[in-house]
Structure 1
Amino acid sequence: MIKLLFLLVGIYSISINAQRDSPEYIEAAEYQASENEKFSTVETTILTKKDFKKFKALDFYPINLKCRVEAKFVRTPNEPPFKMTTTTDRLVDKIKYGKLHFEIDGKKLQLNLYQSVPPMEDPEYIDYLFLPFTDLSGGEGSYAGGRFLDARIPKGATMIIDFNKAYNPYCAYNSRYSCEIPPLENHLEVRIEAGVKDFGKH
């Protein structure tokens, strides 16, 4: 029994080390490091002066490649524009651009992708899509108002969703910002324990 236990521990350790050496893991780790650099730099931080003085690092869930999934992308043409609500009276013109179908731990899930109306003119963001979501970890580890993911218009019928890159809206850190509220249709009935956690709650 003891030998079996040591064998299982060894296999687990090898699996974890292999995951940490993978390009996907390294990419997520580099993203999180860049976020910390942005928050800890005077010129780029969005933190209040009070929070900036004591800031050390954002609190992320451990990188979990199970939360990096390949989704089926379905374009939704001819959708009417709508007003996306925000944390203030501001309304943002959006259009549903497409839908993503994927699975996590065998559970079938879906999320809508949104595009600004009109689309951004900056060449760097001309193919940018907005992916806001809420999940069952909201208010219990993650920010209750939901989190965001950045996306680009896919060239094919699939898209990678990496929840390890999920970030909080600016208003989670500073009340002077107005942030989009994820539509109810983008709520996931699972706990997404990946990406950034709620700020100042841990």
Structure 2
Amino acid sequence: MKKCLFIFLFIPLMVFSQKISKEQSEIKKFQQELNAEYLNPKETPLRGDNFKNFKQHPFFPINSKYRLTAKFTRTENAEPFDLPTSSGKTKLYREYGKATFQLDGQSYTLTLYQSLDLIKQKKYEDYLFLPFRDATNEKETYGGGKYMDLKIPKGNTIILDFNKSYQPYCAYNAYDYNCPVVPEENRLPVEIRAGVMYEDIYHH
């Protein structure tokens, strides 16, 4: 009987640990790919000594608390609009839907967008853009906020993994890049201690 009980307890633990490691490995892959992009002279936004001294990004510790299943509501008949950018110009976007999630017992909603330029390319046709701000900005993360890349979900939920959030190129090079400004509706009043941090990245 004890042996059967052990097997019964062991199998769910194995499944749970496999699930955790799969999610963590996805985040590790995201971190490795982001570092590789910034180390690649053809892709990096870094210039001069900033590029030469760059080793890797600092990241918040991976935290499953910030991997959330959100209720996804599609926006009907959304009109294209001009989203302001860091240079004072605008880029054409449309609202695609809203994601509502619970964090520490509170409910929050973020708006997801589509870039009308990017979706013309086949590889970006199911791409969603989530810019957001939170209470870590100007302290541990870039003052202008952070971004997340998502794909259009099939059902009425979407996974928001803030461990995969990153900072716009303008955080590292404001001269060469033109980054969408986070809309006011996507300002979170709480700290999201996940994803890329903003400290002295060039000497890590």
The equivalent of 2:6 in structure 1 is none
Per the normalisation by structure 1, the TM-score is: 0.86
Indicate yes or no: 2:172 matched with 1:173: yes
Q: How does 1:1-202 map to 2 (within 5 A)?
A: 18=17, 22-117=21-116, 120-175=119-174, 176-200=176-200
Q: SS of the residue aligned with 1:192?
A: coil
Q: CA deviation at 1:21?
A: 5.5
The one-letter code sitting in structure 2 at the alignment partner of 1:103 is Q
Q: CA deviation at 1:49?
A: 1.5
Per the normalisation by structure 2, the TM-score is: 0.85
Change beyond 3 A, Cα 1:186–1:19? farther
- 8 A Cα contact 2:140 2:199, kept in partner: no
Q: SS of the residue aligned with 2:133?
A: strand
Question: 2: distance between equivalents of 1:44 and 1:62?
Answer: 26
The count of residues paired between Structure 1 and Structure 2 equals 186
Question: 2: distance between equivalents of 1:100 and 1:159?
Answer: 7
Q: Deviations over 1:131-162 (max 9, x none)?
A: 00000111110111000000111110000000
Question: 1: distance between equivalents of 2:20 and 2:119?
Answer: 36
Question: 1: distance between equivalents of 2:106 and 2:20?
Answer: 27
Q: SS of the residue aligned with 1:188?
A: coil
Q: CA deviation at 1:48?
A: 1.1
Identical-residue share of aligned pairs (%) = 43
Structure 1: gaps spanning 5 or more residues: 1-17
- 8 A Cα contact 1:84 1:181, kept in partner: yes
Q: CA deviation at 1:189?
A: 1.2
Q: CA deviation at 1:200?
A: 2.6
Q: Deviations over 1:24-77 (max 9, x none)?
A: 011101110111111112222210121011111111101111100000000111
Question: 2: distance between equivalents of 1:108 and 1:140?
Answer: 24
Structure 2: gaps spanning 5 or more residues: 1-16
Q: CA deviation at 1:89?
A: 2.2
Q: SS of the residue aligned with 1:35?
A: helix
The equivalent of 2:8 in structure 1 is none
